[in-house]
Structure 1
Amino acid sequence: MYREPFVRTPQELVDTKLELAEITAADTVVDLGCGDAFMLIEACQRYGCKAIGLELDAEVMALAKANVAKHNLQEQIELLEEDYYQFDYSRGTVYLIYLSRWELGRLSLPMEKSVKPGTRVVTHDFDMPAWKEAKQVAVPLMAGDTKDVYLYKVT
């Protein structure tokens, strides 16, 4: 089965996504396809939250584990080699996602059925099909282009 490749999120988008999510120390931040765990590390360092990262690529997971250990965040960040279609979405209170609109469409209903009220979902480039965003922000990047970031709040 095809999966999205690991692409590190530019810092400007990381900052915007974390800000829009209104993360607190009480949150559990989940990154579906966490790559090198950079965004989770940033979230834990800034807000003192817990985090869960899912990654299927063994090489990228090894990089994520090394980065989490380098920042001494093993107690805060749980890394899982798990398919995000099998994940228990009730575990998170904030979801930071970068997937294609097609993948987001496939996740839309499973997430909607199991996330708790108050959960925030933040995506960029692509919106969640059939979900109404609470906020959309255009983020200018240093590379010269602009990316859209979408915030969803589950009621």
Structure 2
Amino acid sequence: MNFKKILFLVATGVSLTSLGVAGCTTQQRDFEAGTEPPTLAGQTETPATTQPQERPGDVPYVPTPQSVVDAMLEVAKVNENDVLYDLGSGDGRIVITAAQKFGTRGVGVDIDPERIAEANQNAEQAGVSDRVQFVQQDLFKSDFSEATVVTLYLLPDINLRLRPQLLQQLKPGTRIVSHAFDMGEWQPEQTLNVDGRTVYYWVVPEEVPANLQ
């Protein structure tokens, strides 16, 4: 990543959340007794530790302000019946906040093993480890089909690359919330301004227009 792009990211407050290729390797937990946790593509066992990062992430990491986290969860109307996937989950604050405030089960996906370890530690401290999990995995090879809510704070080009995958995998009615960046031709149902930052909200349609696929 060149110096000008780094300056752009810092100046705009863009998420520097790490993404990329690295198999699902974080400790898995059942969300509640007798309930299987959501699974990700390629997730077949329960490894105890993370693995070395296989390649640099696509974007650096900057956490979402808590006021924006709260607004993202509120516009999506998350509740205890939801399964929330946070793409590029960083320190885990979106998934953890949803579990704390609404009883939501959640999965955070990130390539960076340091972020995975930090998120697991934060979940332990928050007392929500029974409802959340964090996995070290490539977003573009992941399966989000169990999600009822998806949150992201990435970059414009990453959003556009993910859009066909999200629309193909997610069920109609699934809510998607993005901090700072839209999804091109896919017009949001709501746009919020939160402390000078923009939040976009979509609902996956019953039929996906050809121009969005």
Q: What TM-score results when the alignment is normalised by the length of structure 1?
A: 0.92
The within-5 A match list for 1:5-154 is 5-140=60-195, 146-154=196-204
- Per the TM alignment, residue 2 of structure 1 is displaced from its structure 2 partner at its CA by 4.3
What one-letter code is carried by the residue in structure 2 that aligns with 1:96?
Answer: T
State the alpha-carbon separation in 2 of the partners of residues 62 and 21 from structure 1. Answer: 27
- Per the TM alignment, residue 130 of structure 1 is displaced from its structure 2 partner at its CA by 2.7
Contact 2:57 2:111 in 1 (8 A): no
Gaps of 5+ in 1: 141-145
Gaps of 5+ in 2: 1-55, 206-213
- Per the TM alignment, residue 70 of structure 1 is displaced from its structure 2 partner at its CA by 1.3
**Residues 2 and 8 of structure 1: is their aligned pair in 2 closer, same or farther, counting only changes over 3 Å?**
closer
Structure 1 vs Structure 2 CA RMSD: 1.1
Contact 2:120 2:133 in 1 (8 A): no
State the alpha-carbon separation in 2 of the partners of residues 65 and 24 from structure 1. Answer: 22
Segments of 4+ in structure 1 off by > 4 A?
A: none
| Bigger Cα Rg | 2
The answer to which structure has the higher strand fraction is 1
What one-letter code is carried by the residue in structure 2 that aligns with 1:58?
Answer: P
State the alpha-carbon separation in 2 of the partners of residues 79 and 30 from structure 1. Answer: 10
Corresponding residue pairs, total? 150
Three-state SS of the structure 1 residue aligned to 2:139 is coil
What one-letter code is carried by the residue in structure 1 that aligns with 2:177?
Answer: V
State percent identity of aligned pairs. Answer: 33
Contact 2:87 2:108 in 1 (8 A): yes
Contact 1:27 1:49 in 2 (8 A): yes
Partner of 1:143: none
Spell out, residue by residue over 1:88-145, the C-alpha distance to the aligned partner (whole angstroms, 9 max, x if none).
Answer: 12121101100101000000101111100110000021101232211001112xxxxx
Partner of 2:16: none
